[in-house]
Structure 1
Amino acid sequence: MKTIADIAKLAGVAKSTVSRYLNGGSVSLQTKKKIEQIIQEQNYIPNTFAQSLKAKKTNMIGAIVPRLDSYATSQTLTGMDKELRVQNYHLLISNTNQEQQREIEAIYDFARQKVSGIILLAAEVTEAHLTALKKVDIPVILVGQKHSQLHSLIHDDFKAGYIMGKHILESGHQQIAYLGVTEKDEAVGIKRKQGFQKAIAEHHCEIQYYETSFKIKDAIEVASNIFDASLPSIAVCATDNIALGVMKAAHARGIRIPEQLSITGFGGYDTSEIVHPALTTVHYAYLQAGELSAQQIIQLVEDQSVNMCSTLDVTLIDRESVDKR
């Protein structure tokens, strides 16, 4: 663990200069930038920081999100902001562009800004995440994933996969292509698929599993490769965006939806209702997740009791993109 003396040596300045900087004293702009760079590179936090944070709580809550161009993220942030404003808190947002190292850096950056709590939206929680959160000693709520060491707020992904699987079987589909994401994402990559697998376990279906990313363009490429080999009766997609990519690939080849190919998604995005045919999907309460995570982080900041894990329900939305066989 670095000390003020270490930071001073690396920055090429006196220890008193680093101390003055940390306490808000007068430091030249050039020196300030140099010290800030070293502090960020070393993920340095003063030993007294955790104590001072508890003694001087701010009304700022930091949210670390993987991307801003996501319906799920934007709706969750909207819910957070709405609830925090009611509670007289301000929301600070750090976009990490789905880079784990930037998530770690954001934790330390928020600590330096003395936020009172952190709401973390991460696809995967690593030892580096846990080390950073332990070091800064700031209340945290993990949204979208479950972790035994963190207060977590999740959607019922297993149930989502299960009810979608049941719906597909009831519609008579037997030749299935499942387009999932990396299993590093436990909620989307594992739980949704496990729920789906349980639903179809006792039925004799022809099913192939494929992996893609969350991006529409990648889903288009994977779907095109699937169509080159054979045409399933239905494509079950782990997110609505993946489903939109499959739809575009199908339209490009003149494949009629749902007559020749049925398609489903997960998420209940606004776009899933306005595309043609409207997408059969599972609705996730992203806005409610944002509101509840804001309520819970404030409770933690105020030393109130919060359940280690809270689960939000999901509902199937049956639309026109699934044909009965």
Structure 2
Amino acid sequence: MSKTIADIARIAGVAKSTVSRYLNGGSVSVATRHKIEQVIKETGYVPNTFAQSLKAKTANIIGTIVPRLDSFATSHTLMGIDDQLRNQGCRMLITNTSQDMNREIEAIYELARQKISGIILLAARITDEHLEAIETTNIPVLLVGQQHEQIHSLIHNDYDAGYELGRYVLDRGHRRLAYLGVTEQDIAVGVRRKQGFTRAVEETGACTVAYYETSFRMSDARQYALQLLQQPLDATIIVCATDNIALGVMKAAHELGIEIPGQLSITGFGGYDVTEVVHPALTTIRYPYQEAGKIAAQDIVKLVHRQHVQMVTVMDYELLQRESVDKC
């Protein structure tokens, strides 16, 4: 039975991405290079080069790398990508990485070997390893949801959205605020939204803000909120970095008998469909995920055909003023 890259990596005791980098001229340490070369010699493994793959690549297949599939933002972005690619006679190949950055990098190499002609990458952050993989494979890449100066990027206007939501809750009279965010490793959600909100607070003055952090998962946000809300919380509102977090907080508040918005106001970001039907309906920022997917598909096809695409495309947003925020 012929060996695969996974077999070579296992025998050599290294990651598949390391073997991929070696096979395609990327940077690996001298010791690692020797180990891989020895295993290849002993097994008789014959790799297919990227040059061979690229010469035979199929121009109508676009790879899409996503961090998770159980996400409203991801699923609606994918729907937009798929619709537009079909309209342009292309197909989409999806790779899920389960929020594992190493799998993201491996996926870039793997998709290149599968003769795709372009990649749409939904990533929380871009590292040197990402850049190395993109440079090594020499395939057009479009980054969605985050921005990097070396990669064509399509982003949502998280900073201005955070600022407008902050202005809204402050105009409603709230001066004692809590912000429940996520890791700052995610620049768009963890940093930019919070920065916009913070600017609104600083411009207003005479406010107190407590900043907290949880994960993207609704269940984790609920557990965190159950602990937070059972302590004295000197805030009339919790601004949540995503709708999932806001829904988790609302669930916890309901379990603790805290009335929304009478005793506590809550907001989110995202504009998920469910936020309109929960009671009370959630005040939030709606992002046009499906439209973003369509534009991303148009742009990656242009890049494949070496047509001009601006380095950064910024999507708009909409503030949805609903029932979960009371006047203070």
* TM-score, normalised relative to structure 1: 0.87
1:324 maps to which residue? 327
Q: Secondary structure at the match of 2:54?
A: helix
Letter of the 1:135 partner, please give it.
Answer: T
Structure 1 contact 50–137 (Cα < 8 Å) conserved: no
1:216 maps to which residue? 218
Letter of the 2:294 partner, please give it.
Answer: E
After superposition, the C-alpha distances for 1:19-76 in whole angstroms (9 at most, x for unaligned) are: xxxxxxxxxxx21x44563274611555752475156443110000000000000000
Structure 1 contact 283–316 (Cα < 8 Å) conserved: yes
Letter of the 2:20 partner, please give it.
Answer: N
Choose which of 290, 295, 299 in structure 2 pairs with 1:296: 299
After superposition, the C-alpha distances for 1:200-222 in whole angstroms (9 at most, x for unaligned) are: 10321111000111011111122
Map 1:91-102; keep pairs closer than 5 Å: 91-102=92-103
Map 1:174-323; keep pairs closer than 5 Å: 174-202=175-203, 203-231=205-233, 232-323=235-326
After superposition, the C-alpha distances for 1:199-247 in whole angstroms (9 at most, x for unaligned) are: 1103211110001110111111221222122232101000000000000
Over the residues paired in the alignment, what is the CA RMSD in angstroms? 1.5
Structure 1 contact 234–262 (Cα < 8 Å) conserved: yes
Structure 1 position 38 matched with structure 2 position 39: no
Letter of the 1:180 partner, please give it.
Answer: G
- The alignment-based identity, stated in percent, is 58
Letter of the 1:240 partner, please give it.
Answer: D
**2-structure distance, mates of 1:211, 1:292:** 32
Letter of the 2:137 partner, please give it.
Answer: V
After superposition, the C-alpha distances for 1:72-114 in whole angstroms (9 at most, x for unaligned) are: 0000000000000011111000000000011011111101101
After superposition, the C-alpha distances for 1:160-197 in whole angstroms (9 at most, x for unaligned) are: 10000000011111111100000000000110001001
Q: Secondary structure at the match of 1:307?
A: coil
* TM-score, normalised relative to structure 2: 0.87
Structure 2 contact 112–137 (Cα < 8 Å) conserved: yes
Question: Across the two proteins, how many residue pairs are aligned to each other?
Answer: 295
Runs of 5+ consecutive residues of structure 1 not aligned to the other structure: 1-29
Letter of the 1:227 partner, please give it.
Answer: L
2:43 maps to which residue? none
Structure 1 position 138 matched with structure 2 position 143: no
Flag the 1:225–1:300 CA change in 2: closer, same or farther, 3 A.
same
